[in-house]
Amino acid sequence: MRHRKEIKMNKMLPVALGLVGATVVALAVAQSQPSRTQSGVAATSSVGAASTRPTFSANTSALRMDIEANARYHARVAPGYEMLKAAQALLVQDKLQEAEQKCREALEFLHRNDHSETALVPLELLGDIQLAKGEYKEALKSYAIAPLRSAACPVNTALCYVRLGDLEQAKKSCPDKMLAQYASESHPEAMPGTRDLKSMEATLLMALANIYGADSAQELKYYKAAEKLAPTNWHLAEGLGWTLDDRGRSDEAVRYYKRAVQYGGDKVSQRTLERAGVLKPTFLDGTPLPVVTPHPLAHETVKTQK
């Protein structure tokens, strides 16, 4: 019984130790394990054992070949992804013609050097560029065949349909539930709405502002575009205030906080009420925050450091 437990443990060890460790243990077991002839059961032949346990040199050779193949693949496709990053940067700078040219170069390069579906990754970015240029039908074609789609893809697809005047198709591309999640998960009722093309476009732009929230320049661009379509939407004004605050533009932010309070009343957050001057800042228990008075020497210290 003890002998069988030892055999079972020897079989489990390679699983726990990983690829390289497994081969070392397997080789050690193959050399040290006694005959399995017990209770009339014939022992495993040395030929069978050799066929089920690759040698250490064979495994390391295969592993080395995998690593080298991956390295060659990444070296081969890396220039294409550098072109893609350059195209993305040009799009953010609104250099649309240059962005499209660079994106098409990346697409052609990856098509020549990468024979998997990832060669078509630039198609979504190409669609974004075409959307920015107002080429909505071309953008829809690019989005339709892009193999790997980001969260922004269905929203941008819907935006193309809205700007082509097709509200129903826009709603199919980005259903209300999905749109509410992107545009305002906490206050879906506060979205500009989806009742007509104008409100739908404002809501889609608001969703894109949240999706691109990690990039404050993109976030601000989409919020500003949405604000032109829905200037009385309190939730949009609040989001715009927060975005401006994060960029250090506090004077502009306060103006939007006040607008949010004007149209949203007590629906806005406490932070918005405080920044709009309606409430005094407090701790969580409601205790007012102390007024911090700068030290009289602070100004002199700053002047000295300059």
Give 49's pLDDT tier (boundaries 50, 70, 90): very low
Cα–Cα separations (whole angstroms), residue 150 to 42, 104, 154, 157, 225: 58, 19, 8, 11, 21
Lowest mean pLDDT among 11-15, 104-108, 211-215: 11-15
Residue 98, CA atoms < 13 Å, CB-side half-sphere? 10
pLDDT of residue 31: 45
Beta bridge partners of 288: 282
Rounded mean pLDDT, 94-121: 87
Give 153's pLDDT tier (boundaries 50, 70, 90): very high
State in Å, rounded, how far the first CA of the chain is from the last one. Answer: 82
Token representation of residue 271: 């932070």
Highest mean pLDDT among 31-40, 210-219, 255-264: 255-264
**Is 246 among the domain residues?**
yes
Beta bridge partners of 102: none
Nearest-angstrom CA–CA distance, 43 and 77: 51
**Is 91 among the domain residues?**
yes
More confident residue, 13 or 134: 134
Q: 148, 182, 207 — which closes off a domain?
A: 148
Q: 148, 169, 189 — which closes off a domain?
A: 148
Structural domain total, the chain: 3
State pLDDT tens for residues 52-64: 444 445 566 666 6
**Is 22 among the domain residues?**
no
**Is 305 among the domain residues?**
no
Say if residue 178 is in the same domain as residue 198. yes
pLDDT of residue 58: 56
* Cα of 95 vs its chain's centroid, Å: 23
Q: What is the CATH number of the domain that holds 141?
A: 1.25.40.10
pLDDT of residue 14: 43
What residue spans of 166-233 are helical by DSSP H? Answer: 167-173, 176-183, 197-211, 216-229
pLDDT over 70, % of the chain: 67
pLDDT of residue 279: 62
State pLDDT tens for residues 273-305: 877 777 665 555 666 555 444 445 544 444 444
* Contact (Cβ atoms closer than 8 angstroms) between residue 270 and residue 248: no
119: buried, middle or exposed (CB in 10 Å: 19+, 13-18, 0-12)?
buried
From the list 76, 82, 72, the residue with the least C-alpha distance to 111 is 76
Q: 148, 171, 192 — which closes off a domain?
A: 148
Nearest-angstrom CA–CA distance, 236 and 204: 12
Nearest-angstrom CA–CA distance, 54 and 154: 48
State pLDDT tens for residues 221-242: 899 999 999 998 888 888 888 8
Q: Which domain holds residue 175?
A: 150-217
Nearest-angstrom CA–CA distance, 61 and 39: 39
Considering the chain, what is the average pLDDT of its residues? 75
**Is 49 among the domain residues?**
no
Residue 265 has pLDDT above 60, yes or no: yes
Nearest-angstrom CA–CA distance, 59 and 148: 33
* Contact (Cβ atoms closer than 8 angstroms) between residue 174 and residue 157: yes
CA angle 204, 104, 82 (to 5 degrees): 90
Whole-structure pTM value? 0.66
Say if residue 142 is in the same domain as residue 163. no
Rounded mean pLDDT, 91-115: 90
Token representation of residue 173: 């591309």
From the list 89, 90, 87, 94, the residue with the least C-alpha distance to 225 is 94
